[in-house]
Amino acid sequence: MKRVTLLLLIFITYLPAQQMDRLFWNGSDWRRLEKLADYDPELTYMMKIAYINGVLDGRLFYYLKAWIMEQAFADSLYAETVDYLTPRELVKVLDNFYADPINGYIPLPSAIIISNMFGERIPMNTIDEYIRHSKEWINRMILEQKQ
């Protein structure tokens, strides 16, 4: 039964990510999971954890692929800490982060880094600068995609 539930979660989580006009999941996708789970807190949590684990697994996979080619480059490219918080803590921090509508369009990978920055107690001016840069690059990518 657990395997069927897990497969269902992966399928439900995977479908919304396949929108062709979207570059990354963002706050609206994160908040929409609650509705997809029919407002069941346990199912919502499981879907969020599945997404986070997928992002972190994918990041590790590509880090290792890059590390095989050039270790110093891989280390510099993947220097941000994304595993400082436990997945449970990360879900809570992301929920709080995306509760602010102004953060809604920041991509989830950036929000994961930002959440870990909060967890590490990095100075707020550094976090604010990272948030500003995240907004700038996603806006630039969206504009380039539409051209």
pLDDT-derived band at 24 (thresholds 50, 70, 90) equals: confident
Length of the chain: 147
The model's confidence at residue 79, banded by pLDDT at 50, 70 and 90, is: confident
For the residues 85-109, what does the mean pLDDT come to? 93
| CB of 85 closer than 8 Å to CB of 56 | no
Position 22 scores a pLDDT of 59
For 54-58, which contacts have Cβ atoms below 8 Å and span 24 or more sequence positions?
54/13, 55/108, 55/109, 55/112, 56/82, 56/83
pLDDT tens, position by position, 111-147: 999 999 999 999 999 999 999 999 998 888 888 877 7
The model's confidence at residue 14, banded by pLDDT at 50, 70 and 90, is low
